[in-house]
Amino acid sequence: MLQYGFDRLDAPRRAVVTIGSFDGVHTGHRVLLERLKAMAARCDAESVVVTFDPHPRIAMGRAEGMQLLTTIEERARLLEDMGIDRMVVAHFDEAFRSQPYESFVRDMLIARLGMVGMIVGYNHRLGRGSEGNFDRLQPLAAECGFELECVAQHTAVGEDKISSTVVRNVIAAGEMERAARLLGARYMLSGIVCDGRLDAVDEYKMLPPSGIYRCDLLSCGVTTPTIITIDGRKVFVATEVSGAVTIFM
């Protein structure tokens, strides 16, 4: 399901594609992803999410204070749980950032993925100078023969809008139940437990405020209730366990 880079892809297949960071895979993303799956089913094609590593802000040297809701592996897991067929991770560097959107669509999405359809968000931008918006993609879609749809911004009951920034603010306030409603899934922390401490947590991964939290812990395919204590960037696990775990808050 998770593939790194376009050079490692298999022979082109029929694919319906969406592109973006999809940090958190929140309920706004999920509306778009359901449209992606619907178009893929209609076109007898795979549903494919193209995302980036490192995050564009990190790659462009603007990572100060950066906090991500999901690691690449967590993102892939959430997308797979939603029924997305593949997640392709593009290496975001200067060469990637500076390529014209037309070249990326033709040389990567169509030639490498076999794209027959594309779903974009209301604020989607692609390619050098963020020039590839929905209006500019429309004539390219007509020329190259792929279907193109734009998804409006999603709002939830009691919320002005849903975005990764909104979710980060909710988590920063320690409102984990509300965060789960906005995400459409419980917030997860992944890492390695050693001597009661969760290590190997990605340096950019957002942690809730310091405090004590009731959670569920997944280890070796078994989920058990647990309590974790967060102290700054340190996470301590009450359950006696070691090795790779995922904590659902």
Model confidence over 64-116: pLDDT tens digits?
788 999 999 999 999 999 999 999 999 888 888 889 999 999 999 999 999 99
Instruction: Write down the mean pLDDT value for the chain.
Output: 92
pTM given for the model? 0.92
pLDDT tens digits for 216-244?
A: 999 999 999 999 999 999 999 999 999 99
Using only C-alpha atoms, the chain has a radius of gyration, in whole angstroms, of 19
Amino acid identity, residue 10? D
Kindly list the distances between the CA atom of residue 120 and the CA atoms of 61, 94, 124, 132, 183, in Å, as whole numbers in the listed order: 26, 23, 6, 11, 19
Domain topology for 2-151: Rossmann fold (3.40.50)
pLDDT of residue 123: 82
Kindly list the distances between the CA atom of residue 10 and the CA atoms of 5, 79, 86, 201, 230, in Å, as whole numbers in the listed order: 11, 20, 12, 31, 43
Q: Give the E-state strand segments of 9-45 in sequence order.
A: 15-19
> What is the token pair recorded at 153?
């911004």
Asked whether the predicted pLDDT for residue 159 surpasses 60, the reply is yes
The 3-state DSSP class for residue 40 equals helix
Q: Pairing between strand 222-231 and 188-194?
A: unpaired
Amino acid identity, residue 212? I
Domain ranges of the chain: 2-151, 186-248
CA distance 164 to 26: 7
Q: Does domain 186-248 have CATH number 2.40.128.110?
A: no
Asked whether the predicted pLDDT for residue 157 surpasses 60, the reply is no
pLDDT tens digits for 185-219?
A: 999 999 999 999 999 788 899 999 999 999 999 99
